Amino acid sequence: MTDETAMPAEQPAPDQPRHSKDEDIVDAEIVHAEIVDDAPSAAVAASSSGETAGAPQQIIYLHAPAAPRKKGNRGIGALYAVISSIAFAAILALVTAIIGLAAGGRFTFFFVTDARFYIPVLFFVIGFVLLVLILNRAAWWAYIVGSLLLAVFVYFGTVGLGLLGQGIISRTPEEAAAMYAVALRDPFVIASAVVAREVAIWVGAAISARGRRVKARNVEARAAYDKDLADKKAEHERGPVAASGTV
């Protein structure tokens, strides 16, 4: 006896056709072929549009030459100033001896053993070294103007320190004023200022001449640095072009 209520065998849906295993393999090959064929076209499209997405970025380190340091004139100029104090002392001694001959009829150099003779020499060294440190590579006209300031510095420095050595602090205001007026008219003090100015002018000419040479060397060093840097950049820019041309 047959069971009439038995369910019928499941039939394939009409919209889902059955394929054999061979047909599945063929379809997979077709799909794979389509993906492979689309890859070059996508790469060409990306390269034609200028996009470099996904490409690793290359970092190139360019070693630039060290920039030259500007050379100054302070060290050698200060050395000139210190050495010139010997010439200042010698000329001042000669002028002082001439003043003594004119005033008292004696031409002598015994005053060089007195410590007060070296007061203007001290102020000359200090003032001239400071002037060189300030002016550095300046032109001669700057030293001509600076020599006036140096003469004033030597003049009042000699007056002030000389009066301190004479005990002006312990004097009465009237006595201090009289001592100050006499010191301002002292021929030795005036000669110290004049000699300081003249020595500073001519030694300043030598210092400024060296300063011009230092300036010229600085300009040449900077020009050589700029040329070297431009060559390095040009070589760096030619590198990728040469590499792409050999591929």
Q: Residues 25-38: pLDDT tens digits?
A: 444 444 444 444 44
63-75 per-position pLDDT tens digit: 666 777 888 899 9
Distance CA 239, CA 116 (A): 74
Which residues does 230 contact at the CB level (< 8 Å), separation at least 6?
none
Tokens of 100: 């003594």
Tell whether the model's pLDDT for residue 56 goes beyond 90.
no
Tell whether the model's pLDDT for residue 172 goes beyond 70.
yes
Name the phi and psi angles at 16, rounded to 5: -120, 80
Mean pLDDT estimate for the chain: 79
Q: What is the pTM of this model?
A: 0.68
Residue 235: which pLDDT band, with cuts at 50, 70 and 90? confident
Helices (H), 166-186: 173-184
Is residue 102 within a helix (H) or strand (E), and if so which, with residue range?
A: helix 74-104
Tell whether the model's pLDDT for residue 179 goes beyond 70.
yes
User: Could you count the other beta carbons within 10 Å of the beta carbon of residue 244?
Assistant: 8
From residue 176, give the alpha-carbon distance in Å to each of 143, 154, 156, 168, 185: 35, 20, 15, 6, 15
| Mean predicted confidence (pLDDT) in 158-187 | 93
| Mean predicted confidence (pLDDT) in 232-238 | 74
